[in-house]
Structure 1
Amino acid sequence: MARILALDYGTKRTGVAVTDELQIIASGLTTVPTEDLMNFLKEYLTAEKVELVLVGEPKQRDGNHSQVEEHIQKFLEVYANEFPNVPVERVDERFTSKMAFQTMIDSGLKKKQRQNKALVDEISATIILQDYLNRK
C-alpha cells in the first residue's frame, strides 16, 4: 500500500501529516512555508509512494468557504498539472486548529510551546488525516 498525505494549507505555512504504509496511523510530518510547498511535494512524492493527498477545506460555521479557499484553489490547479496521477480529496477542516491547540494543552506543552503556530498547523494536518482514517 501507499501512504496518504494530508495538508492543512495556509497562506504562510502548510502543516503536513502522513500515514504509515498500511494506512493505520496518522503522524505529523512537518510544517512547510507555503511558498516552498510545491518543491517539498516534488521531493516527497518522488521519494515515497503516496496514493492520495487530502487537502483541508476551510469553512466558516455557516458552511461558507473561508478567505483562504481562493488560495487553495490556485494551489490545486498547479498541483493537478504537476501531479496528475496522485488524486486530491478535500476534507472539512472546521475546528481542527482549536482541536490541535487543545491537544497541545492536554499533552502538557508549556504556554511558550503552544504559541508555535507551525506545530499547531502540523497537528491540525494530523487531525485531518486521522479523522479521514477513522471514517474510512
Structure 2
Amino acid sequence: MGRILAIDYGRKKCGLAVTDPMQLIAQALETVPTHQLFDWLASYLAREEVTDLVMGESTDHEGRANPIQAEILGFERKFARQYPDIRLHRQDEFDSSHRARRSLLAMGTKKKDRRDKTRVDRVAAALILQDFLEGR
C-alpha cells in the first residue's frame, strides 16, 4: 500500500502532508514554493510510492469557490496528465489555516513559530489529510 499525499495549495507556497504507508496517520511534511511544486513532486514520487493525492478545496464561509480554485483546477489537470495512476481527491479546507494555528498553540509552539506561515501551511495540509482519512 502506498502513501496518500495532501497539498494545501497557495499562490506562493504549498503545504504538504503525507500518510504512513498503511494510510493511517497524517503528518506534516514540508512547505514548497508553488513554482517549484512539480519539481518537488517529481523527486518525491520517484522515491516514495503514492497512490492518492488530496487537494484542499478552497471555499469561503458560504461554501462558494475562492478565486484560487481556478489555479487549483489547472494544477490538478497538469498533475493528472503527468501522474495518471495517482488518484485525485478533493477535501474541504475551509478554516484549515486557522485550525493549524490553534493546533500549534495547543502543542505549545512558541508565538514566533506559530507566525511562521510555512509551518502553518504544512500543518494545514496535515489537517486536510486527516479530515480526508476520517471521512473515507
TM-score range, shorter chain: over 0.9
Structure 2 length as normaliser, TM-score?
0.97
1:84 is the counterpart of 2:81:
no
Residue 51 of structure 1: aligned partner: 51
In structure 2, what is the Cα distance between the partners aligned to 1:35 and 1:80? 18
In structure 2, what is the Cα distance between the partners aligned to 1:104 and 1:67? 27
Residue 129 of structure 2: aligned partner: 129
What is the CA RMSD across the aligned residues, in angstroms?
0.8
CA contact (8 A) 2:91 2:131 kept: no
- Aligned sequence identity (%): 40
Structure 1 length as normaliser, TM-score?
0.97
Higher deviation after alignment, 74-83 or 123-132: 74-83
Matched letter for residue 133 of structure 2: L
In structure 1, what is the Cα distance between the partners aligned to 2:70 and 2:135? 27
Runs (4+) off by over 2 Å: none
For structure 2, which runs of at least 5 residues remain unmatched after alignment?
Answer: none
1:22 is the counterpart of 2:22:
yes
1:67-78 to 2 correspondence within 5 Å? Answer: 67-78=67-78
1:26-76 CA-partner distances (Å, limit 9, x unpaired) = 011100000000011111111111110000001001111011111111111
Following superposition, the deviation at residue 111 of structure 1 comes to 1.5
Matched letter for residue 87 of structure 1: R
Matched letter for residue 29 of structure 1: L
